Amino acid sequence: MSTYQTTYAEKPAVGLAGLVPTTEPGIDVSRTVESAAGIAFGQPAFRGAGDNGVKVYAAGAVFLGIAKLTPAVPADAVNPDKYPQNFTGAFRVTGPMYVVAGGNVAAGGKVYWDSATGKYVADNTKVEIPATVFDASGVANDIVKIVLKDR
């Protein structure tokens, strides 16, 4: 007979990267993923070559939004947590979003993204996510809320 779960986390997870945490107003846009590797939920997307395309970060790329978590993605047992190439995904351009902190972050601080780790930091030597602030404090690997402002 199977054993019941016998261990529990001290508290439930706050959320998941790419999840919209509240019903605060926000704007999402649909864009087609151009990058062969796809774009993971909660990761920034940058303007692609096509009129409605997005791609992963490359030097000089223009930020568009953050990949929104959605169940409307083709099944992929190897990489289930991202939009695959040529799929039209939802990208948050304004409003709240959960992301993964890459170090100590403080509510009200500017948001930067570390392309090496895929996490969000308060380090101004990393890629700036324009007009965006942390809306919660946290430490490395915490799920934290950010708010994207109008572009």
Q: List the single range of 53-57, 63-67, 78-82 with lowest mean pLDDT.
A: 78-82
Question: pTM for the complete prediction?
Answer: 0.89
- Distance between CA 135 and CA 82 in Å, rounded? 24
Domain count, the chain: 1
- Look at residues 102, 22, 108, 100 and name the one whose alpha carbon lies nearest to residue 66: 100
What are the structure tokens assigned to 132, written together?
């965006």
46 domain residue, yes or no: yes
What tens digit of pLDDT does each residue of 7-30 get?
A: 777 877 888 999 999 999 999 999
Share of residues in the chain with pLDDT > 90 (%): 79
Which range of residues forms the domain containing residue 52?
27-148
Instruction: State mean pLDDT over 43-51.
Output: 96
Q: What is the mean pLDDT of residues 110-125?
A: 97
Task: Look at residue 56 and tell me whether its pLDDT is greater than 80.
Answer: yes
* Domain-located, residue 14: no
**Mean of pLDDT values over 107-112:** 97
pLDDT exceeds 90 at position 134: yes
50 occurs within a structural domain: yes
According to DSSP, the β-strands at 127-134 and 110-114 are: antiparallel
What are the pLDDT digits (tens) for 68-98? 998 888 777 677 899 999 999 999 999 999 9
Does position 151 have pLDDT exceeding 60, yes or no?
no
Question: Residue 68: which of 48, 85, 87, 93 has the closest Cα?
Answer: 93
Query: How many angstroms separate the CA atoms of 15 and 142, rounded?
Result: 10
3-class state of residue 101 by DSSP: strand
Say what the pLDDT of residue 80 is: 82
Which structure tokens are listed for 106? Answer: 């403080």
